Chain A
Amino acid sequence: MVRDLFTFAGFNENTQIVWFKIIYSKEPGSLSLITDFLEAENAFIMFAHLDNLTQKAGEYSVFLELKTDVDPEEFARNIKDLNVVSEVEYGISKYRMITSVDFPLYVVGVRGVIARALTIVDIIKTLFQNAPHAEGLLTISGLKGGIHSAKYFKSIMPLDDSNYGSVIAELFRGVGWGILEIECDPKTYEGKVIVKDSFIADMYGAADQPVCAFMSGYFAGYLTEYFGKAISVREVSCKATGKKFCEHIISLAPSGGTGQEYQVRGDTR
Chain B
Amino acid sequence: MIRQPNVILGNDELLVTMGKKGDLLGFFYPRRDHAQHVDESVACIHTGEKLLWTNDSDWHSIQNYIEDTNIVSTKLYHDSGIRISILDLVHPDVPVLIRRFKVQSQKKISGKFFYYSNFNVGETSNKNSGFCDSDVRLLVQYRQNYYIGIQSLPEFAEWQIGKAMDTIWWTNSKYDMEDGKLQRNNEDIGNINNAAGWDLELEANGANEFVILIGAASSRSLLYKRMNELSKMSLEHIFEKTREYWVMWLSKKKVLKMPGLEGYENLRQELFSAYNRSLLTLYLLQDREYGSFVAAPEFDANFEKCGGYGFCWNRDTAEIVLALKHSGYPEYCDMFFKWSIGTQLHDGSWFQRYWLNGDIAPSWGNFDYSTQIDQTGSTLYAMDIYYRILEGLKKVEFLDGVWISVLRAAEYLMKRTKSGLHESCTDLWETYHGIFTYTNASIYAGLIGASHLAEENGEDGMARRWRKRAEFVKQATIDRLWLQEGYFAKGIINDKLDKTVDASILSAYIPFGMLSPKDAVEKDMIQFMIENIRKKLSVPVNQSYGIKRYENDSYIEGNPWAVTTLWLSEAMFSLALDLPREAEERYDETVDKLTSEGIKYLKCVLAGATSTGLLPEQMDKSTGKPAWAIPLGWSESLMLDNILLLDKICARKAGSEEQS
Contact = CB atoms under 8 A, between A and B. Distances in A.
A258 to B, nearest CB: 6
A255 B183 contact: yes
A234 interface: yes
B187 A258 contact: yes
Nearest to B171: A260
A216 B167 contact: yes
Interface in A231-269: 232, 234, 253-258, 260-261, 264-265
A256 B165 contact: no
B88 interface: no
Contact of A143 (B169, B183, B188): B169
B172 interface: yes
A136 interface: yes
Contacts, number: 60
- How extensive is the interface on chain A, given as a class? 20 to 34
Contacts of A136: 163, 165-167, 169, 191
Contacts of B168: 232, 253, 260-261, 264-265
Contacts of A133: 125, 164-166, 191
A135 interface: yes
Nearest to A262: B168
B125 A261 contact: no
Given A230-B170, A253-B170, A256-B183, A140 B188 contact: no
A234 B184 contact: no
Contacts of B175: 143, 230
Contacts of B164: 133
- How extensive is the interface on chain B, given as a class? 20 to 34
B170 A232 contact: yes
A159 interface: no
B167 A258 contact: no
Interface string A123-147: 0000000001101110110010000
A217 B169 contact: yes
A264 B184 CA distance: 18
A266 to B, nearest CB: 12
B186 interface: yes
A18 interface: no
Contacts of B191: 132-133, 136
Contacts of B171: 260-261
A interface, over-half SS: helix
A220 interface: yes
Contacts of A213: 167
Contacts of B166: 133, 135-136, 139, 261
Nearest to B172: A140
Given A132-B191, A133-B191, A258 B169 contact: no
Interface in B171-186: 171-172, 175, 183-186
Contacts of A261: 163, 166, 168, 171, 188
B191 to A, nearest CB: 6
Contacts of B187: 258
A111 B168 CA distance: 29
Contacts of A220: 169
Most buried by A among B164, B171, B172, B186: B171
Nearest to A142: B169
A135 B167 contact: yes
Contacts of B165: 132-133, 136-137, 140
Contact of B185 (A139, A216, A258, A265): A258
Nearest to A213: B167
B197 to A, nearest CB: 15
A180 B187 CA distance: 38
A140 B118 CA distance: 15
Given A256-B183, A258-B186, A132 B169 contact: no
Interface in B110-129: 125-126
B82 to A, nearest CB: 22
A261 B187 CA distance: 11
A256 B175 CA distance: 14
Contacts of A256: 183-185
A133 B193 CA distance: 14
Contacts of A216: 167
A139 B187 CA distance: 22
B43 to A, nearest CB: 21
A261 B168 CA distance: 7
B28 to A, nearest CB: 22
Contacts of A132: 125-126, 165, 191
Contacts of A255: 170, 183
A139 B184 contact: no
10 contacts: A139-B167, A140-B169, A143-B175, A230-B170, A253-B168, A253-B170, A258-B186, A260-B168, A260-B170, A261-B171
Interface of B: 125-126, 163-172, 175, 183-188, 191
Given A135-B166, A137-B165, A261-B163, 4 more contacts: A213-B167, A232-B168, A232-B170, A261-B168
